[in-house]
Structure 1
Amino acid sequence: MGTLVKLILASVCAFLAVRWTAPRFNEESLRGVRVLVTGASTGIGEQMAYHYARFGAQIIITARREKVLQQVAEECLTLGAQKALYIAADMSSESEPNKVVEFALEELGGLDYLVLNHIGPSPFSMWEGDVDHTKWLMQVNFFSYIQMAWKAMASLEQNKGSLVIVSSLLGKMSSPFVAPYTSTKYALNGFFGVLQHELAMKKSNVSVSLCTLGLIDTESAMAKVKDITTIPPYPTKDAALRIIQTGATRQLELFYPWFTQIVTLSKDWFPSVTNYVIQNSYNYNP
């Protein structure tokens, strides 16, 4: 058996072993916990809010649209949340990310989970030199994340809390039409990967979970890729639940769907083949 085949088999076996030995999720562990979820007016963030509500958590949700947030918070109370509050905020602002965390700490008396999920709108198209948009998106998708993480860190440390970072397969491997977005996700993976190391070295009480997602069937994602790609999407509700389970069990990383981990390895094993597959997964006519 060739060395490459042995390496592939060993990697797959190691991956399966990790999946089978992952800590078991206990729904009761989330009853009464204090959670802040960003980007919660729609998509994955909205579904996470509903899952936390069903588990009996105390929830603060944030996004830009106040009326939609109000509706989501009301639904959370209907589903069983012990508390459900909202605060509208624009994460492109340098001050509002901190204000959101301050609001959550004041209203809940502390945080057990900080779930960072928000993203700014970005075109699904070839990059044509719009540096200003890329800078703006870095503030929304990256700098606001590290602002909020630092602002919440003392409370998370005190409560043996968890940071949950929603990232993307596009932060592990490049793909066409999403240069600004991909840049922000690479930045997230790099920064919070370092933070995982540093918190562990300091024997901190805070866990950091990095969640790598493939294509999820959110309304915004489907609108962008309609008639452009053949890549199959996966359900938003299930992705949201898996993110919550990963944070609750304090796992370092989530790959959803599961094969995204194999895909990330393929770019190192077979870079030319991987690039060919990626470039031919889109219907592009110059």
Structure 2
Amino acid sequence: MKAFTKLLIVGAIGVAFVAFQWSGPTLDPESLKGVRVLVTGASTGIGEQMAYHLAGFGAQVVITARREKVLQQVVEKCQGLGAQKALYVAADMANPSDPERVVQFAVDKLGGLDYLVLNHIGSSPFAMWDGDVEHTRWLMQVNFLSYLQMAKTALPTLEQSSGSIVVVSSLLGKMCSPFMAPYTSTKFALNGFFGTLQHELAMQRSNVSVTITILALIDTDSAMEKVKGFTNIPAWPASEAALHIITSGATRQTESYYPWFWYYGSLIRDWFPYFRDISIRNFYKY
């Protein structure tokens, strides 16, 4: 009887944990009214959708990407959706001077910063690695080193505002798969660096939180075009992913997954490595 009771308790705890993961934290939209946010990679895809959500919540938003004309269009829509302020600054994160310039622009125009949302990525082919070391070096600057530069520049103002750094990462920074070696290396680097930064800020009793969001395949136009004909992995809506990222940052989670159930995939990744690798390869065509 005691063993059965223990089993019931363990089962109840398991069900409660799954229910918590399913529901996730609740976002209070009022908490985002007037907040000062810099979103990178915001001309299309997830970043664009984040800008629209934030605008609808009445935030003050600065967006950045390379294409100025597209940024203008996104800003105009943000203004129509109710943003207290919507501005853009065109920048190329492959240029080592641009990351710091963008943060300084946002701080100057908004009078400070509450959220730094690091979302931009460089283009990388969906193909087996061809030995191009220079491309990986370039991608490291765009997908990794520029994140560090922006975080370093933003930390003093985020400390003043008890703000947050929100890092958009990927399941490919947790487990390897074919055709994405350079991209995967940048995401592993992001998870490692910002996971370490979380510890160090906590040990310093910093006011700044760091949230790492782990995304599965998202149905952005660029992602769908790359994987077309290569995989049958399901893709998830960019708008929902964007809202998940905002919620995770606003509720100061250390790490979150979208969709939530991929947390369990990440949890068991090292339990059965042989079957894990066979399963991953079966998702791809070659």
- Normalising by structure 1, report the TM-score: 0.94
The answer on 1:135 being equivalent to 2:137 is yes
Tell me the residue number matched to 1:57. Answer: 59
The residue matched to 2:211 in structure 1 has which SS? strand
Tell me the residue number matched to 1:231. Answer: 233
Tell me the residue number matched to 2:73. Answer: 71
Tell me the residue number matched to 1:154. Answer: 156
Shift of 1:135: 0.2
Tell me the residue number matched to 1:193. Answer: 195
- Give the letter for the 1:219 counterpart: D
Q: How does 1:1-286 map to 2 (within 5 A)?
A: 15-16=17-18, 19=21, 23-284=25-286
Distance 1:14 1:269, change over 3 A: farther
Distance 1:10 1:38, change over 3 A: farther
Shift of 1:10: 10
CA contact (8 A) 2:62 2:86 kept: yes
Shift of 1:24: 2.5
Shift of 1:121: 0.2
Identify unmatched segments of 5+ residues in structure 1: 2-7
- Give the letter for the 2:237 counterpart: P
- Give the letter for the 1:260 counterpart: W
The residue matched to 2:62 in structure 1 has which SS? strand
After the TM superposition, which segments of 4 or more aligned residues of structure 1 sit over 3 Å from their partners?
A: 8-15, 20-23
- Normalising by structure 2, report the TM-score: 0.94
Shift of 1:17: 6.2
Shift of 1:80: 0.3
Aligned partners of 2:146, 2:243: CA distance in 1, in Å? 24
Aligned partners of 1:272, 1:207: CA distance in 2, in Å? 37
Tell me the residue number matched to 2:6. Answer: none
CA contact (8 A) 2:22 2:260 kept: no
Distance 1:14 1:97, change over 3 A: farther
The residue matched to 1:182 in structure 2 has which SS? helix
Distance 1:191 1:178, change over 3 A: same
Distance 1:191 1:120, change over 3 A: same
Aligned partners of 2:72, 2:105: CA distance in 1, in Å? 16
Aligned partners of 2:146, 2:235: CA distance in 1, in Å? 27
Aligned partners of 1:239, 1:122: CA distance in 2, in Å? 21
Aligned partners of 1:9, 1:166: CA distance in 2, in Å? 33
Tell me the residue number matched to 2:7. Answer: none
Shift of 1:228: 1.1
Shift of 1:186: 0.2
- Give the letter for the 1:24 counterpart: T
Aligned partners of 2:100, 2:253: CA distance in 1, in Å? 26
Identify unmatched segments of 5+ residues in structure 2: 4-9
Shift of 1:267: 1.7
CA contact (8 A) 2:21 2:260 kept: no
Shift of 1:200: 0.6
Aligned partners of 2:12, 2:138: CA distance in 1, in Å? 42
Aligned partners of 1:227, 1:146: CA distance in 2, in Å? 35
CA contact (8 A) 2:211 2:252 kept: yes
Aligned partners of 1:214, 1:11: CA distance in 2, in Å? 26
Shift of 1:280: 1.0
Aligned partners of 1:136, 1:103: CA distance in 2, in Å? 24
Aligned length: 278
- Give the letter for the 1:48 counterpart: M
Shift of 1:262: 1.2
Q: CA RMSD in A?
A: 1.8
